[in-house]
Amino acid sequence: MRKSLMAALATVTATTAVLLAGPVTSASAASPFCNQTPPSTSIFFYRSDNGNAGTGTLSAGQWQFKASLNLPPGYTHGAASRDSLLLYNKDTGAGEIGTFTNGRYARVGTYGFAQGWTHIEASGDSVIFYKSNGYGVTGTLKNGAFQQVRVYNNFSSGWGTMAASCDTLVAAARQGGTDFPWSKVGYGTLTDGVYTHEGSIPRDDFLGELTATKDSVLSWARAGEGLEIRVSKATEGTGISFNQIGTSGVWNKVGRTSDSLFFYKTDGTAWTSTLVNGSYTNVGPLAQVSSGWTLIEGGV
């Protein structure tokens, strides 16, 4: 697997689509996969220092524990599709993939990926590997397996955050300094193992980090002593228009499932909400959540 990714990047032609830049294409049809498969409620928690992990379900903002796992330490990235979970160590390229349904993870195989991917994001049936220098790989992530489909050497560079709903990838970049935080947002479909660019939005402020449910995307950006929260619908690679809905305290991570969000501080403080069809609703705090989780990954 390592050889196929690296060799493909060396021979990719200039005919591939440009990620989040270039001319807008016509809107894509709704994803058959998203319409014909049940949404995911599975969510995964992991500590990179010792490999401890836990899984459960999060639906309508309600959390239920399922299992504890002992995995290899050192994973730096994770991505969950509708039925699968991928784990990856950017320093070594080591990774694994398994099925992830009903709140339970079962490893199917280990992989040797290329090193140095800065972002890995999964939609309902697909996954994208991205480097800030503009290299990328897309493929399918289904049934506990990854299948490479396309490679790119002309993605836009510098994207700092990405999130994928069931069929739509959204990315944001800060193009200026903190005094002049002009930003841009790009989006398109991520289905059948291929990214198709649909459009971009210039901004005069920094959008922030992104997290997506099956049909919506949330941004959270530092504003003074708290976070500024915005939401948008995110389906069929279109309809990206962020609306500010308020502010919150500072969180270190925000996990997701198909309809819910898991806000988390490394000290174990946690809060859940729902995000459906671009509408955000608070649910409430969770007690007795473990501290120290470095990855929180849920499916859509």
What does the pLDDT average to over 247-254?
96
Q: With a cut of 60, say whether residue 124 has pLDDT above it.
A: yes
**Domain-wise residue ranges, the chain:** 2-298
Query: Percent of the chain having pLDDT more than 90?
Result: 77
Average pLDDT over the chain, rounded to whole? 89
CATH for 2-298, among 2.120.10.30, 2.120.10.70, 3.40.50.1000, 3.40.50.300? Answer: 2.120.10.30
What does the pLDDT average to over 209-238?
95
Q: Nearest-CA neighbor of 274 among 81, 85, 58?
A: 58
Task: Give every strand in the sheet of 104-112, ordered side by side.
Answer: 77-80, 84-88, 94-101, 104-112
* Tokens standing for residue 192: 């059948």
Buried b (16+ CB within 10 A) or exposed e, 265-281: beeebbbbbbbbebebe
Residues 98 and 106: their CA atoms lie apart, in Å, by 5
Residue 224 gets which letter from DSSP?
Answer: T
| Highest averaged pLDDT of the listed ranges 177-181, 206-210, 290-294 | 290-294
Q: Between residues 105 and 26, which one has the greater pLDDT?
A: 105
Residues 171 and 288: their CA atoms lie apart, in Å, by 33
Residues 186 and 210: their CA atoms lie apart, in Å, by 12
Residue 13 identity: T
Would you say the pTM of this structure is higher than 0.85?
yes
> In which element (H, E) is residue 3 found?
helix 2-11
DSSP 143-173: TTEEEEEEEES-SPS---EEEE-SSEEEEEE
Q: With a cut of 80, say whether residue 25 has pLDDT above it.
A: no
Q: Is 40 helix (H, G, I), strand (E, B) or coil?
A: coil
Residues 114 and 147: their CA atoms lie apart, in Å, by 14
pLDDT in tens, 40-64: 999 999 999 999 999 999 999 999 9
